[in-house]
Amino acid sequence: MKSEPPGQQAASTGRLTPPACLANLPEARVMLRVGLLLAGGVLPLLTAEVAPNAITVDFDAVMRLTFERNADILVARERVNESQIALDSALQSCLPEMLRKDIFKKPAAEATVWRRRIELRKTESDALQDAASTYFDWLTALGGEEVARDLLTKEEKLLDLARKFAQNEPPAQVVVEAIETAVNGQRQYVLHTHQQSEAAAAKLAYLIGKNDRALTTTETLQPINRIDTSVASEVLVQQAQENGPGVRELQGLMVSLEQNIAEACRAQRRCARTGAPLVSG
């Protein structure tokens, strides 16, 4: 058998290997992505910048969207609507109370409406607080990532200077290795802060009902005063007692119960005067 020259073997091998190379393209792309991530998380940043259908939100938009589109709030509102329909049916029904189901009896239906409203107010308060804290966590992570990237850029410049200096001064190679370790640690920290910001953004998107859209913001985290310290504590306590979540609904429930109790007492007195049997509805 006649052997081919090395050049011809390489040529024939080159003609046979392209399919195998193409088959390994996905793995090569994955390795390229990993390399870019380890180089400082540039790829996630570029992906976030070119994400389609991204929406820009600020604190007011987060509060508004949470109040309008949060899944837990929407479920609680539907429960209120259901109880309101049952109350309307109880008020418009011509059947006596004792022949109705419990949910269609006026006292029970009215109490259910108030209880569902209390649950709705509590759900709204919890969801808004969660969205606000998540938004501030997101801003904090974005700020930390920006600072980390700035430090990484400066450390990489310092590493270049150290390498150039070590070419003429071999003992300085120890310093180069120390700086390389610091740069690698900083790259890992950049990835960590980027993951934190992505996680906070994903949670915030769910809370505001936009989990199918990417989020961006134009705000930065700055010191703000959340509480007016000039207001007396007694005034703050009074405001909480009057306007706290579920306070007014609880007061309405108490009024409804008192009215139903008074109506039952009047019915009992009428039966006692007339001698008619008291039928419990």
DSSP state string for 121-140: HHHHHHHHHHHHHHHHHHHH
* 208, 145 Cβ separation under 8 angstroms: no
pTM given for the model: 0.64
Tell me the three state secondary structure of residue 56.
strand
Residues of the chain with pLDDT under 70: 1-52, 98, 221-228, 264, 267-272, 275-281
Report the length, in residues, of the chain.
281
pLDDT of residue 130: 94
Tokens of 10: 């390489």
In 3-state terms, the chain is what percent helix, strand and coil (to 5)?
80, 0, 20
pLDDT of residue 65: 93
Tokens of 51: 């994400």
pLDDT of residue 44: 42
Encoded amino acid at 214, one letter: A
Residue with tokens 């409406």: 113
Task: Give the separation between CA 100 and CA 98, rounded to whole angstroms.
Answer: 6
Closest CA to 210 of 73, 75, 76, 70: 70
pLDDT of residue 224: 58
pLDDT of residue 227: 61
pLDDT of residue 28: 47
pLDDT of residue 217: 84
Q: Name residues whose C-beta falls within 8 Å of residue 73's C-beta, 6 or more positions apart in sequence.
A: 66, 67, 120, 123, 124, 127
